[in-house]
Structure 1
């Protein structure tokens, strides 16, 4: 069980095995990563940064977001393994993904969080 100061819920990371990747799929959104995170993923994929940008990223203002692909009735992160229903770069996932579900947004949107994550315990 994971607890984070300032949050009135905890997270059971073992629930991820049963979840099917609900945090990686759904409505379209942005999945931001910083330069170091992006460079590490490009290296892991054995791609130079330009090729990685072309194949996996989209520019949003001054930042980069992972591309999305159509999946089921919505979208999935381009790094979501649709067959295994897991993140294909889990060990290198960006901080936006690493900090889920402990986002400030969910402090006030608990019903939405309950729908999105079966590992949250109130």
Structure 2
């Protein structure tokens, strides 16, 4: 898989052998659009407000997915199942997750991405 403007490609089959590196690690924000919340709640068979209370945190005017603390300094997305090595809401995951690893940040930090993601293939 490729995307114009990026000097690497991505092999999505690598996800099967990965430990979920894109879902674990340092703390950060996984932004969820207000429009996506009803779809995610419905997928989990929950009411919108209950979903927000249980799984999201409000930061300013935006929502981010809560994290689970594994050990100090290491976090998991609340929807990442370590035993199964997969996302529990994969079909309705946020846009930020859908576009990984093609983030503008990684245009300048490709070596960091290669250490994190086994599916990165150099094209240059």
For normalisation by structure 2, the TM-score amounts to 0.94
Structure 1 unpaired stretches of 5+: none
Higher helix fraction (1 or 2):
1
Question: How many residues are treated as equivalent by the alignment?
Answer: 121
Mapping of residues 51-70 of structure 1, within 5 Å: 51-70=50-69
- Aligned pairs (5 A) from 1:2-21: 2-21=1-20
Tell me the SS of whatever aligns to 2:17. Answer: helix
Show the counterpart of 1:86: 86
Runs of 4+ in structure 1 deviating by more than 4 angstroms, as ranges, are none
Q: Secondary structure at the match of 2:76?
A: strand
Identify unmatched segments of 5+ residues in structure 2: none
Taking structure 1 as the reference length, the TM-score comes to: 0.95
Instruction: Name the SS of the counterpart of 1:59 in structure 2.
Output: strand
CA RMSD of aligned residues (A): 1.0
**What is the CA-CA distance between 1:71 and the residue it aligns to?**
2.3
